[in-house]
Amino acid sequence: MESSSRYLSLEKPNKADHLWRYTPWKKVHPTGDVSEIPILGQPEISLGVIDGSDLPPGIELKLGAAVKPDFSRSSALTNSFLHASAESSQWTLVVDKGFSSEKPIIIEVDTGDSPSIAHISLEIGKASEFELITRVTGRSEWFGLLRTGQIKDGAVVNDVVIGLLERGTMLRSDSIDICRDAQVIAGTVSSGSERTKSDLRYIMGESGGNIRVLGSILSTDSMHLDHHIEIHHEAPETYSRLSWHSACGGKSRTIGTGMLTIREGSRGADAAQIFHNLLLSKSAEADSIPELEVMENDVVGCGHGTANGPIDEEQMFYLKTRGFDEDDAKRSLIAAFLNSTLSEMGGETLHGWLVGELTLQLEALDA
């Protein structure tokens, strides 16, 4: 009820708001009536190992929220709405201290055919080491995913979310704390849903945290995929890299906005971001806005950049001379472009699995 009251008391954002500049809140609200908090269904969620083998001891997906989330550094509007809507649709991934798995762990989220929502809290124990995939599938017209929690001291985690909705809208909000000396790869693979709005925030409030945020985004037809990423350096000796690749075809549009914030006192912080966009048609559109906010003088380095361009005709010609037809050559170049970030999201097993998922999407693109 607290989240409901908070949401209803907030002023609804306009295009002057950095987060909602390209995708109005009304467009991603489940009903379009922003004064309403509708009753939403609960998706089917399961935890397993990527190869179907038994889960190792020390990891468990529990129904219910373990701790009350802290939304102080997140979008009050989005998170209060999602938290209120997901009151009866909450899970907690509990990972024991020192947990280790050589095989990737997967959270399967099946949205079903009706509008649904899930709140997944990550409580990842100290010195744990594993790879985690969260795969979202289904035919729902609307799905909301709220992820909160923390990756505790010394943990080494690859955390990949792959969105493969067949239609509709996906609204995602992450607010994850990266604790002392934790080493994190946060990957996003998006190639489904007609409209996606993501607000991804990572907070490094203790020294020694290290995060790489990676995106491999494929948009086709008239998709509208909008990802906003914030990384907050709030402690000394923290490190971050943001690398985001989007391939845009048809009449689709992708948006990538990044904000790296280095607070006063975050001595020795090292942060950089880069956005690359591959335009597959004359009607496709890609917007990238990297931003830095530095309030500490003693930093190692801070940089940002963005680059847009079409498929290289010389590369297309080269592949055709090697026996590729037009579609195969184009698909190969798109795969290579997206694989540059995909390949950094995990080890050999996870990478092979992600490549398989991407290949299926590229084949559907040609169909």
From the first residue on, what is the mean pLDDT of each consecutive set of 10 residues in the chain (367 residues)? 83 83 93 92 96 96 78 78 87 97 97 95 97 97 95 98 94 96 96 91 96 96 95 96 94 94 93 93 92 86 77 70 76 88 94 89 66
Question: What pTM does this model have?
Answer: 0.93
Q: Give the pLDDT score at 237.
A: 96
Q: Residue 215 and residue 190: Cα distance in Å, rounded? A: 8
Q: Residue 357 and residue 96: Cα distance in Å, rounded? A: 29
Q: Give the pLDDT score at 318.
A: 60
Residue pair 150/176 in contact by the 8 Å Cβ criterion = yes
**pLDDT single digits (tens) 160-186:** 999 999 999 999 999 999 999 999 999
Q: How many CB atoms lie within 10 A of CB 335?
A: 17
Strand-strand pairing, 105-110 and 44-49: antiparallel
Q: Give the pLDDT score at 367.
A: 40
Give me 79's structure tokens: 């998170």
**pLDDT single digits (tens) 85-111:** 888 899 999 999 999 999 999 999 999
**pLDDT single digits (tens) 52-85:** 999 999 999 999 876 677 666 667 888 888 888 8
Q: Give the pLDDT score at 365.
A: 65
Q: What are phi and psi of 265, to 5 degrees?
A: 100, -10
Beta strands, E only, the chain:
44-49, 59-63, 90-95, 105-110, 116-124, 129-137, 142-151, 156-163, 169-178, 183-190, 195-204, 210-219, 224-233, 239-248, 253-262, 269-279, 285-294, 299-310
CA distances from 42 to 33, 39, 45, 85, 186 (A): 21, 10, 9, 10, 25
Residues 6+ apart with CB under 8 A from 18: 228, 257, 259
Q: Residue 202 and residue 240: Cα distance in Å, rounded? A: 10
Per-position b or e across 188-227, b if 16+ CB within 10 A of its CB: bbbbbbbbbbbbbbbbbbbbbbbbbbbbbbbbbeebbbbb
3-state DSSP assignment of residue 188: strand
Q: Give the pLDDT score at 272.
A: 93
Give me 145's structure tokens: 């995913």
Q: Residue 44 and residue 111: Cα distance in Å, rounded? A: 7
3-state DSSP assignment of residue 150: strand
